[in-house]
Every structure is written in C-alpha cells, then in structure tokens.
Amino acid sequence: MNAVMKHRLFWPVVVLLALILVNTLSRPSFVSITVQDGRLYGSLIDILRNSAPLMLVALGMTLVIATRGIDLSVGAVMAVSGAVALQIIQDSGDAANPSVLAVAIGAGLLAGLACGLWNGFLIAVLGIQPIIATLVLMLAGRGIALLITRGFITTINSDPYKFMAQGYVVGLPFAFYVSLAAIAIVAVIERRTALGVLTEAVGINPEASRLAGVRARGIIWGAYAASGLLAGFAGLLYSSNIMAADANAAGLYIELDAILAVVLGGTSLAGGTFSLAGTVVGVFTIQTLKSTITFLGVPPAVTPVFMAAVVVLVVLIQSSRFRRWVGRLGGRLSVRSAQPVERTEVAS
Amino acid sequence: MSLTDEEMTSDALVAMRGITIQFPGVKALDDVDLTLRGGEIHALMGENGAGKSTLIKALTGEYAVDAGSIAVAGEQRVFHGTADAQQAGVSTVYQEVNLCANLSVGENVMLGHEVRRAGRIDWRATHRAAVGHLQNLGLRLDTRTALGSHSIAVQQLVAISRAMVTEAKVLVLDEPTSSLDRGEVQQLFAVMRDLRSRGVAVLFVTHFLDQVFEISDRCTVLRNGRLVGDYPIDELSPGRLVSLMLGRELEDLAALSGASDRPVDRSGTPVVRMKGAGRKGLIEPADVDVYPGEVVGIAGLLGSGRTELARVLAGAEHADSGQIEVAGKAVRLNTPRHGIDHGIAYSPEDRRAEGILGDLTVAENIVLGIQARRGWRKVRRSEQDALVSEYIAALGIRPANPHVLIRNLSGGNQQKVLLARWLATAPALLILDEPTRGIDVGAKADIQSKVAELSEQGLSVVFISSELEEVLRLSQRIVVMREHRKIGELASSETDVDGLIDFIAHEGREGAA
Ligand SMILES: Nc1ncnc2c1ncn2[C@@H]1O[C@H](COP(=O)(O)OP(=O)(O)OP(=O)(O)O)[C@@H](O)[C@H]1O
Ligand SMILES: [Mg+2]
C-alpha cells in the first residue's frame, strides 16, 4: 500500500477517480454507457472523444515543459492548421476527393510543424525566452489564420473530413484512437529511445548536459517541433468537429488547459523529469471537470471562477507539503517529507 | 569523552542529544550528540556520507529529527526552518552555496539586512556595509556586479560574509574552505579566530586535516551516521583522527609517490597539442602538449586561468586563436561535444552547476556521458547495469544503490559519480578540474591511485587542483598559470611544494621589477 501511495501517479489518479465519483453520485447516468447501432454512447465516451485535441496538445506541452520551456502558441497553431486545411478543401471545390483531403491534412500538419520549428528556432538557436518567443506566435497566429481564410470563417461540407472528429470505429470514437496513437508514438519515441532521458537532462541542468555532450539545441528544437506538429493535428480535429475554421475560437485558451494537465499529471514546470502517463491522467481530469461544469449548469460568467476553485483544490490535494500540513492540523503524526529517493516511474 | 552529560551541557551554547534522522532506505544519523561551547572552534569530521551535513541541517531546522533534542543557549528548540534558527542566533553557510546568482554581490550579502532610512532601502549605505563585510574576509570587489559572474571561491566567500552579517552566536560552516586558496583560507581563519575571541561558537566541516589541527579546539567525529566521539584536538594526531574517521588505517600514499617520477615517452605524437590556442578576455594563447600516459598538472592561484585553460582544451570554450591538434591532426573544437567526439573528457570544477543532474539517478548520471555520444540509441539495460555496478564498486560510491537520485548523495559521493561518468566513456584524455574537492581523505587516496593507475595504463590526464601536494604527487609535468597566462612549465621531479609556490609567485616577475 505504501509503495502504491508513493507512486508519482497515485494522487493524480485519486483526483481523477474522485471527480468521476462526485459526478456519478450527483447523476448516476454519468457512468452509464449505451449501445446504439454498435456504437457506444455516454458521458464517459464523450470525454474520451472530446479530450482528443487537448490530449495531443498536452503531450507536446509535456515535452516542451520537460526542457524547461513553455509553448503558449498551441491554440493559435491549431487555428492556423485548421485554416490551412479547410481553405484548401474549400478552394478545391471537391470536398469528397480523397487526394484533396490528403493534401489538406498534410498541409495542415506541415503548417503546425512549421510553427513549431519557428518557435524552436527562436528559443534553441536565438536563445529567446520561451514565454516571449511563443507569445509572438500566440498573438500573430490567429492573424495568420484569418489571412488564410481571408477574414471569414471557412466552412466546408465533407463527410470524410468530418469522420476524423465525429466518426466511429469498432464502437469507439475515431478521435479516441487518434489520442491513443499519439500517446503510443510519443511514448515509444521518448522512452524506447534515449530521447526521453536526454530531454530530462537538458531540462534539469542545461549547462551540465552540454558539458556531458548532450546536443541540447537539437533536443529543445525537437520538443517545440513536436509540440507544433501535435497542435497542428489538434487543429484539424477541432475543425473537423465543427466543420469550420474559426480563427478566433479554435483552440482558445487551450494552452492553459494543456499546461494544467501537465502539472496535474505531476510534471514540474521547473523542467526535468516528466511523466506522459501523468499528462494523460491530467487531460482526462480536465475534460471530466469541463463536463461537470456543463452538467451542473454553472453559468458561463462564473465558469472560470468555478474552474479556478476546483483547480486550486486539486493542486493542493496533490501537494505533499499541504497534505502534511493538514495531517499536522489533524494532530496526527506528521510524516517526513518523503522526497522521492528512487525513481518509481520510468516507463511512460 | 570523559565528560559526563551534565558537565557537557552546562556551559554549552548548542547541545544536540540523541539525534536520529532516517531517510527512506538510509539511516543518515543514529543517536548522535554534538556539543558546542561559546568561544570555541569545533570541527565536525567524518567520511563522505558520514552525516555531517545532515547533522547541520538538523540543527538549522532544515530537516525534522526523528528522535533527539536540540537546545540552544540552554533552551529546548524546534526550528521549522533557517529563519527560525537565525532568529535564535544560529547562522549557517551550507555546503552547496545557495545564493541568488542574478542579484548583485552586495544584495546577496545584505539580503534581509539592508540598511534602511525612513522605511526605504538606502542602497548606497547597504553596498557600503557589504563592502565592509567583504573586506573582513580580504575580498575587494564591486558589490554591484552580479554574483553569478564570479568564481565559486568568491561566491563561497560571499556566502560566508552573508552569514556574518547577522550577529550570530553560533556560526556553522559546512566545508567553507573547499574552493579557497591558501591566502583566502588564512583570511577566513583570522575572521574565525576573531569570532571565537568574541565568544561565538564556530562549527566547521572540512576534509583538510591540516586545517583542523591549525584552527580547531575540539573535534566531533562521525562514522556511518554514528557518533565516534568528541575530542580535544590536542589529544589527537592526524593518523589517529583518520583512523577514527575511517575505522581503519589509511593505506600509505607513499605507494603513489613513484607516479611523478615515472618516465613518459615524449618522442611520439602528443595525444593533444595546444598550439597558441587562447580566447580573448579569458586566456592568452598558450602551448600545451599532453603525451600518452602522461599526467600534466595545472597549478596556479585561483582565478589564474587554470579552469579556462582546461575549458579551451575541452572545447567548452571556443578558442579564437591558434589551434588544437588531436593525435597530430588539427581539429575543430568549438563545443564540448566536439571534444568528446575526439576522446577528450572534461569533468568541470563546479559540481552542482555544471556536473550533476540532481533529479536523475546515480545510474542515469553515470551513463549520461556514453548515452550522449550514442544519441537516441539507448544504452542497453544489461550494459548499463554492468557499467554502473563496476564503477560503484571501483570508486566506492555510497550508498551503493544505482537507483538513488544523485541529489540525495553526499557531496563527495556525487563527485565520484561524475568521475565514473567520464571514465565510462573511455577517453583518450581526461581533464579533471578539482576532482578531489570536498572528498574525504580515504576517497581522495582512492581517486589519486585510480588516476595514477589509469595513466600507467596509457590514459592521458590533465589534473587541476588547488592542493599542490596532490598535483606534485600525481603529475610528471606541471604547467603553471598566472593572470590568465601560462608562465612556465616544471618537471615535478625537480621541484617540491615550496619550489612550486615560489615559481607561482615570482617566476617572470624579476624582469618587470
Ligand atoms: N535528502 C536526502 N534523502 C535521502 N538520503 C539523504 C538525503 N540527504 C542525505 N542523505 C544520505 O544521508 C547520508 C549522509 O549524508 P550527508 O550529506 O550528511 O554526508 P556528509 O557527511 O555531509 O558527506 P560529505 O563529506 O560528502 O559532504 C548519505 O548516505 C546520504 O546519501
Ligand atoms: Mg556534507
């Protein structure tokens, strides 16, 4: 039991389960899953489906944060990639043509990658602070997206494109498979190769890593490129969901959700060791929270306040110092701050 | 030892009794007592990992104790942090300097004690006060410069003067002299003696035995987290102190003394040859050759350019003049990575800032050097385990658990892990910048004999140390630096410590006089 409690995923998972429990108690239908035409429906399935864009963005954000950085531009990058893809489809006039779709999707992803490479260039090569460097694109990106859509909200009608966010495969939403694939690919690249540990090294101590021969520049650049690419894909999912490229609304504030998901998952904003599994749990936590808010009918005006209050609570529960403090208040024996002495989690 | 508990406590300024601290998996302290009296300089001695720093952190409230009591000036105390301890008159300089590198020197010295006038900070007066405190330690520098721009030695002196800004009753210094040169150590000792005469209790940790005998009145010895005893210094001899610390006799270093006389074949091509390589503002162009199996020492005062020379040689600094040849061929050496690709390994001076990766394990820290070279291709688990256990055993790294985070190791053991990282890359040239700083007498002997052994087998080594005895014992040739310039070269068989000191101080000065 003790070993389980010391696992770095213990508290994130407890928080997620608690949130699901609260929802279930207040509305038993929350956990019910119905089958219709061989497809699963229910709140939990919605969470799996709707969390896909955030999942992609948060995975990229994890890598960036591990290098001691931050990527504020992900929401704007989503707007750009959606705009690129939909404009190509609309201009082609043949929204069902598979090769047009392939070009559109490829171009959207490339646009995301290009944005990531630009961020990485500013940060890894020019040495600009990540928060400033990505702020540039955060502010400019939506303008670029508007230029691409010529100032309009581009809408299309294409069933195959719609499938990405709204289709089903073997009973489950296609978007969920996209999440799974992204998690698997990132985990394999980071943990099956040495890239993960080299990334952590750079995040923990850039100078020591450089002297140890780690190619820090390439690793940092790569993290932003990955973040851009993943945000690009998230932008495609978003546009597929609403079948429109809305430069102002696409991925709005998603950078904040992504950063939160990473932190809830137990990865420190100070960089260094990161947990992909933790980020996955964090993403589901945030998505569940959003669905709770919708269900409770919290008025839109106070939603941010509600969200903030819950987040503060969650972060406190996860803080070992806070738990010790509460323990001491309760008059119980205080537990020594068990800083992790060994690494419990290495695999994602 | 002969004193009863009663007598020991009566005039004690600090009485720690039965202190026990358990970390997950390690009992760092087990029923340890420490008594400090006003007006004494008290040495706390022990091997790396014996628990010295932990005992100090228990005193300052940094760690909560699992058992035991702490009394300061006769009053039972539980400190919840350094601020509490400072309030009670205990001022501490930790082993790993923790100051704000991006604040100015003056701000660091005076932080929390700025001179105020009408509620506002009077910066001029504050800096003036800082200058005064620094001068007590013989340090003259512009207090408005950023602390991070100074060497570790200066940073350490700043940390010490910071501790003395508060009118402390107890001053705790955890390895304050590890990066200071002789002159600076003497300045510090003068200040310590002055504090002693004013009734302050000074607790002092060092691995330099001669310093213990020079300055301290009493000495508490720890071994493996247990108290060995509390002794008046007059009752101890260096040999006895060492055997108390280690629990065994130290093998003779005499076996090593042959190292510096070992003939080196300098007829072939040097492993590395610096030809007029230098960098503006850092180091003037210099020529240095290192032949196969040779140990070249670099000696000089702090700030004389020893480290800069090493960094240029390793590619950590990009030379802007001259050239560097590896095995007879001129090579590009613009980044540490280039150096590593040419088989040049550089273990930097500042362990914490440039060496260890605190949040990674011992195993990951050791393998990092090899891993970086291989890029993405992961070092296989079996290969990693074999390497790591080999080096943990060979260098006596403790605890011998490869999965512990390196930041939980004692300073000396961290240093050994770094040495392992570089040895594991099987370099052609190993550059060691202060490899024995903060290392205990036993481990120091281990590292020295390892270097001697490896060089005998053909490894070339550049060895930098403030301890001239060590440089003389290990190296066949010594490059002497002064004011960022190479001023000459000596064969170590032809000189001794005094000769070397004289050379460092006077060589080449006559002409100018
Ligand atoms: N935060 C921690 N978590 C776990 N173990 C720790 C922690 N701090 C210290 N230790 C362990 O406690 C023991 C004592 O360490 P300590 O730093 O007190 O040694 P030391 O005597 O100061 O050694 P050195 O001379 O190398 O500085 C070591 O085995 C160390 O690994
Ligand atoms: Mg210590």
Q: In this structure, what CATH number is given to the domain that contains residue A276?
A: 1.10.3470
Residue B96 confidence (pLDDT): 75
Question: pLDDT band at A322, cuts 50/70/90?
Answer: confident
Residue nearest to atom 28 of ligand 1 (CA): B49
* Percentage above 70 pLDDT, chain B: 95
CATH class of B5-250: alpha beta
Q: What is A73-135 written as a DSSP string?
A: THHHHHHHHHHHHHHHHHHHT-TT-HHHHHHHHHHHHHHHHHHHHHHHIIIIIS---HHHHHH
Confidence of residue A1 (pLDDT cuts 50, 70, 90): low
Q: Kindly list the residues from chain A whose CB atom is less than 8 angstroms away from the CB atom of residue B369.
A: 212-213
pLDDT at B225 over 80: yes
Given the DSSP bridges, would you call strands A39-41 and A34-36 parallel, antiparallel or unpaired?
antiparallel
CA distances from B411 to A47, A336, B351, B399, B421 (A): 49, 22, 9, 12, 16
What is the separation of C-alpha B314 from the centre of its chain, rounded to a whole number of angstroms?
21
Average pLDDT, chain A: 90
Measured CA to CA, the distance from residue A304 to residue A264 in angstroms comes to 17
User: Which pLDDT score is estimated for B6?
Assistant: 47
* Structure confidence by residue, pLDDT tens digits, A11-24: 889 989 998 998 99
- Banded model confidence at residue B251, pLDDT cuts 50, 70, 90: low
Reported as a pLDDT band with limits 50, 70 and 90, residue B204 is: very high
**What element of type H or E holds A289?**
helix A276-296
Among B21, B22, B26, residue to substitute to test ligand 1 (most atoms within 8 Å of Cβ): B26
Q: What is the percent of chain A with per-residue pLDDT over 90, rounded to a whole number?
A: 72
- Chain A residue closest in CA terms to B364: A197
Residue A334 has pLDDT above 60, yes or no: no
- Contacts of B277-281 with CB under 8 Å at 24 or more apart are B277/B312, B277/B313, B277/B319, B277/B321, B277/B322, B277/B323, B277/B324, B278/B312, B278/B319, B278/B320, B278/B321, B278/B322, B279/B308, B279/B312, B279/B317, B279/B318, B279/B319, B279/B320, B279/B321, B280/B320, B280/B321
The residue ranges of every structural domain in chain B are 5-250, 251-260+267-343+428-513, 353-426
Residue range B485-511: mean pLDDT, rounded: 85
* Domain assignment of residue A84, given as a range: 2-33+40-297
Does residue B70 have its Cβ closer than 6 Å to ligand 1? no
> Can you give the pLDDT at residue B255?
58
pLDDT of residue B443: 82
Q: Does the beta carbon of A205 lie under 8 angstroms from any beta carbon of chain B?
A: yes
CA B123 to chain centre: 33
The string of pLDDT tens digits covering residues B319-368 is 999 999 999 999 999 999 999 999 999 999 888 889 999 999 999 999 99
The pLDDT of residue B85 is 87
**A20, A23, A24, A28 alpha-carbon torsion, rounded to 10°:** -150
Buried b (16+ CB within 10 A) or exposed e, A29-53: ebeeeeeeeeebbebbbebbbbbbb
For ligand 2, the distance from its centroid to the CA atom of residue B173, given in whole angstroms, is: 10
Give the model confidence (pLDDT) of B400-449 as tens digits.
Answer: 999 999 999 988 899 899 999 999 999 999 999 999 888 888 888 888 88
User: According to the per-residue pLDDT averaged within each range, which of A69-78, A163-172, B168-177, B332-341 is highest?
Assistant: A69-78
Per-residue model confidence (pLDDT) at position A345: 39
If one counts the domains in chain A, the total is 1
pLDDT tens per residue across span B439-496: 888 888 888 888 898 999 999 999 999 888 889 999 999 999 999 999 999 998 888 8
For ligand 1, pick from B405, B409, B419, B437 the residue to mutate: most ligand atoms within 8 Å of CB: B409
B129 and B107 Cβ atoms separated by less than 8 Å: no
Residue of A81, A79, A53, A62 whose CA lies nearest to A287? A53
Tell me which of B423 and B10 has the higher pLDDT: B423
Q: What is the pLDDT of residues A156-182, one digit of tens each?
A: 999 999 999 999 999 999 999 999 999
Q: Which amino acid is at B441?
A: V
| Cα–Cα distance, B49 to B59 (Å, whole number) | 17
- Asked if the model's pLDDT at residue B256 lies above 70, the reply is no
Contact B353 A193 (CB under 8 A): no
Give me ligand 1 centre to Cα B352, in Å.
15
Write down the pLDDT at residue B252. Answer: 58
- CATH T-level assignment (fold) for domain B251-260+267-343+428-513: Rossmann fold (3.40.50)
Burial B220-256 (b: 16+ CB within 10 A, else e): bbbbbbebbebbebeebeeeebbebbbeeeeeeeeeb
